Every structure is written in C-alpha cells, then in structure tokens.
Amino acid sequence: LVIIALATLGSFLGDNFDYFLGRHGGRLLEEKPLYKKSVTKVEPFLEKYGILAIFAGRFSGWSRAWIALASGIIKFRWWKFALVSLLSAFSWTGAWVIGGYLLGANRDLIEDYLGRASVVAWLVFLAILIYYFRTRIRLILELIAYTSKKHGARIKDKIWR
C-alpha cells in the first residue's frame, strides 16, 4: 500500500509540474519541434473530451507525457485537472503494483505450469491484445466522430492518429 501511495504521489507531482509548466510557459515550448508535434496532437483530444481525456491519457503511452502539459497550455481548470490526475494516477499505479505483486507471488506456480517460454508467449499475446483493443477503441471513436459530423456537429480532427 505504501508503494502505491508513493508511486501515486510521484506521478501526481510530475503531472502538476507539467501542468504548471504548460500554463506558465507552454506556448514558448511549442516552438520546439518535439513539443509542437506532440502537444498539437493532444490538444484537440483534450479540448473535445476534457476530464475523460486526462483520465484515459494516463493509460495511453503516446499521450501520458503530453496531456498534463497541454492541459496547462489550454488553461484547463487546475482543481479539475488535479482531481482527475490524482484518480488516474492512483488507478494506474495501483494496477501496475497489484499486478506485479500477484505475478510475483505466483511466480513459482506460473513457472511450474507454464515454463519460461510460455510466460514470454503470454506477454506477446498480451501485447497483441492491447494493440487490438487500442485499434478497436480508435475505430469506435472515429465512428462516433463520423456520426457526429454527419449530424452537423463540428469535429476538429481525427483523434488518436
């Protein structure tokens, strides 16, 4: 439990640092090619989905590093950002720590039944499964965007590309 609390605190503090960096100087950072490319991809997603984007961004590798910075740049309300950031950090770190603990606690059992090669095969399978679901989620969001566009709503950009 202490590990989850400390990891959550570290993640939360890092997010707040990035948020305030974006809020008080983010537009200057946009002149840098890496920042400009990454933040401009995240901003439309953040503007469209708000707190859901902040929460879900924690679980996406491409946006985790940029969502807090972009939140500061677009002057997202800090207290909303902080609350959602704390909840997502707790969920994310809790999942990793508990998952690691459960795998570690059952390591001997896993090795007995599956062997080392099978563990690698399961990890590859898990990576493929994650890729599959990310693709499905992207497809669903594009379908939502297409449907909204068809009915007259304004959609800025396709997301997750």
Query: Can you give the pTM of this predicted structure?
Result: 0.62
State residue 94's pLDDT score. Answer: 93
Does residue 105 carry a pLDDT above 80? yes
CB burial readout 15-51, b (16+ within 10 A) else e: bbebbebbbeebeeebeeeebeebbebbbbbbebebb
The token pair that represents 61 in the structure block? 């590798």
Please tell me the least confidently modeled range out of 65-69, 83-87, 121-125: 65-69
Residue 87 confidence class, pLDDT cut points 50, 70, 90 = very high
Rounded to 5°, angle at Cα 14 from 11 and 16: 110
Residue 150 confidence class, pLDDT cut points 50, 70, 90 = low
State residue 5's pLDDT score. Answer: 94
Do 75 and 6 touch, CB atoms closer than 8 A? no
Residue 154 confidence class, pLDDT cut points 50, 70, 90 = very low
Does residue 116 carry a pLDDT above 70? no
